[in-house]
Chain A
Amino acid sequence: MLSSARAWEVLATVPDPEIPVLSVCDLGIVRHVQADDEGVAVTLTPTYSGCPATEAIAADVRAALVEAGAGSVEVQTRLDPPWTTDWISEAGQEKLRRYGIAPPHTLQPAAPRPVRLVPRAVACPRCASKRTTRLSAFGSTACKALYRCEDCREPFDYFKPL
């Protein structure tokens, strides 16, 4: 049997398969944990519909909790409210930056917008310069875009706000 607090501690050690410096807790996808004598129930909210990591994450969460002695583990998926990059913790944002990925901007409240957005200045995670250029709207995964810093000349990923 595992307490809820202990279950959260275990979950904080489960890495995101695509960005292993972030735990599933840093990413903000663990929405609810319920622990009792029967076992642990975890509610996850998936990131992108097409994210291939979603099923791997559920399997990793289950395995980690079982290994920690949780007994029976139930992983549920909740779509609503939808995941947003605003749920990435502050610690998670700092970890992203140190890993070389520019963290997402905070989302603005929904407002009418022109169909074509002008990307905002994204600061280079290495040298903090704001003189950066977008090279590719989609990066190594759907959640990232590829940028280049015009000062230190290094390419870097930008975690797109969702």
Chain B
Amino acid sequence: MAETREPRLEYVLRLGDSALVLGQRLSEWCGHAPVLEEELALANTALDLLGQARLLLTRAGQMEGAGRDEDALAFLRDPQAFRNVTLVELPNGDFARTVLRNLLFCAFQEQLWAGLRASSDAELAAIAAKSAKETRYHVEHAADWCVRLGDGTDESHQRMQEALDTLWPYTAELFTADAVDEAAAATGFGPAWASLEAGWQKLVRPVLEEATLAVPAPTAFRSTGKGGVHSEHLGHLLALMQTLPRSHPGARW
């Protein structure tokens, strides 16, 4: 069973866990990227996401008031306590799927940060203002690659289209309204994610069009990661990420 918490805490955990899990996924490219330039780009993007996750999970720990810091939240929770969207926990796949996911998720983050600048929580507003600057570079870089590969060779186009067909259904979760969303919007804590869809579509669709990719038709499928019900992939990711602090509690270097 998923733990239920105060809605505003759930809201911040969704933000922090999504940034953390995508940061961890992108770190897997370290030493494996197709070219050195992308090695640097993916690692730097991962670092920014981890930095955002640290600030957000620190804030979540303060709000929770149970004495858990960023490390306790990142390393000592089980998969069902994570509130990241399912999109970010899916395996990297090939380079096409990796850059496409970066476009889809980072464009969503861009909408989020814009809305969060007006948050009634001053700390969250500050994190959003800071993160927005970094996210802009992540979106730009991912968009460049989506167009280059989508409107590239037959092979690269086919891989991008496969990536889009695979990932697109998972984007519906981002904009599915629920009680956490409604509570955040009603109290001025943060924008309802459902309200961000129009802006996100406006950012993402022209890039996909320029990339000559066909956007799949909507389906009834809804992933449920932000509610704590994840795919089978998250447990494996966390096992790798958490093994050291769990095997050696309190280890420092």
Task: Write the residues of chain A forming the contact surface with B, with a CB cutoff of 8 angstroms.
Answer: 46, 48-52, 79-84, 114-117, 135-142, 146, 160, 162
Contact = CB atoms under 8 A, between A and B. Distances in A.
Interface in B127-142: 127, 129-131, 133-134, 137, 139-141
A115 B49 contact: no
Interface of B is mostly: helix
Interface string B121-165: 011011101110110010111011001000000000000000000
* Residues of B in contact with A, size category: 35 or more
A137 B131 contact: no
A136 B45 CA distance: 13
Given A138-B41, A139-B40, A49 B134 contact: yes
Interface stretch (B3-11, B50-58, B188-196, B218-226): B50-58
Given A115-B139, A116-B147, A116-B207, A81 B40 contact: no
B206 to A, nearest CB: 7
Contacts of B55: 49, 79
Contacts of B40: 136, 138-140
7 contacts: A48-B48, A49-B130, A50-B44, A50-B46, A50-B134, A80-B122, A138-B37
B203 interface: yes
Contacts of B37: 135-138, 146
A114 B139 CA distance: 11
Contacts of B36: 136
Contact of B49 (A50, A51, A80): A50
B129 A50 contact: no
